[in-house]
Structure 1
């Protein structure tokens, strides 16, 4: 599950985006503080943008935690079981996570799609097709973030050529289907690794015990 040299760019999606988002959040917040206390001004769109970025961090962090086996969980039964049973329990938990994430992906697509002038799926639980008629919502904008000139092409693509004053909601909301797709991919990766015997659980395994053992070992060396 850990990235190795030579692996493709897919293995580094979360790290790259999370690092970029953290850096941008820091710069925007710092600039807003300087504007407020240094020039008695304010960057009106800074708060909304950092809120959206924080939401992206949380959603991308979910798949990153799966990749790093960092999600917390109770593994008492796993520890008490023989290795073959551990694999079975691991596959059951992975299957449950895959099904649940697939449902999240459906729901996230259905919420975002109309903002991108796309049809949502039909079916309450699993997609049974796409809507034939739906209300396009590409004209919906966020509250404060102005549309950069480089994105003016969105007006023709999603707003029938009408001018956007703020960025359309389809941009920040796009993280919903994107992050759920990535989360599903990471759970599939984990399930494959368990099937091949490379891991036996998708939760963090005794990180605290390892740290305690390391501290004890270091204390013994000093003594």
Structure 2
């Protein structure tokens, strides 16, 4: 697989893995704590469900970009495997180009949706940015339903809400994952395209988890024998 399944080392790689593990652990702890509060103390953590949904959204969106970098997305390559390496690389570059275009469209949509919550102008143009829509109405005062405001984020009140205080967490905070994850997705697809062009791999998706597990089991049994 020409190193396609190898995990890229480095601080950023470990940081991404740590953040994903933190999000998954936070979801688990919140859900467990809410169950205990409900069935043991006959109470309820009002904001736990909404925060869990936000954490899950962060996990999925950031995890999608990370999976592109680690070549961990699932795919069907039975036909591709029948082609010569040069043809596989060509198809991989075409697939990468299509994914880059798609992720750029997603980035525009994600930014336009989030920008009004950050008191920023969205882009104009339906498909591609043609400028900034300075007439768009700011929605920086919008809050989430249950999650209370965090003291460390009070600076947002002066920064984007014209000094008005927030009672709940402003939507700009949890929704920032939308443009962030789409930007990461663009970067990861570009990196994947560069890897294919350099000949480091010949396909965009290269996850063979079952085969890898079987090889690991065979190797383990071989060492024991």
Match of 2:8 among 3, 13, 24: 3
Q: 1:215 to 1:26 in 2, by over 3 A?
A: closer
**Superposed displacement of residue 86, structure 1:** 1.1
Tell me which residue corresponds to 1:123: 125
Distance 1:221 1:182 in 2: 40
**What is the count of residue pairs matched by the alignment?**
220
Match of 2:56 among 35, 54, 57: 54
Alignment of 1:1-223 (within 5 A): 2-4=7-9, 7=10, 9-212=11-214
**Superposed displacement of residue 191, structure 1:** 0.7
Unaligned runs of 5+ in 2: 1-5
**Superposed displacement of residue 184, structure 1:** 1.0
Tell me if the contact between 2:120 and 2:138 (Cα under 8 Å) persists in the aligned partners.
yes
More displaced 10-residue stretch of structure 1: 113-122 or 23-32? 23-32
| Deviation sequence 1:122-166 (CA, Å, 0-9, x none) | 111111111121100000000000102222221111211112110
**Superposed displacement of residue 221, structure 1:** 9.1
| Deviation sequence 1:98-127 (CA, Å, 0-9, x none) | 110111001100110001000111111111
Distance 2:145 2:99 in 1: 35
Q: 1:147 to 1:94 in 2, by over 3 A?
A: same
Q: TM-score if structure 1 supplies the norm length? A: 0.90
Higher relative contact order (CA 8 A, sep 6+): 2
Unaligned runs of 5+ in 1: none
**Superposed displacement of residue 193, structure 1:** 0.8
Tell me if the contact between 1:71 and 1:202 (Cα under 8 Å) persists in the aligned partners.
no
Describe the SS at the equivalent of 1:89: helix
**Superposed displacement of residue 83, structure 1:** 1.0
Q: 1:71 to 1:41 in 2, by over 3 A?
A: same
Q: 1:53 to 1:221 in 2, by over 3 A?
A: closer
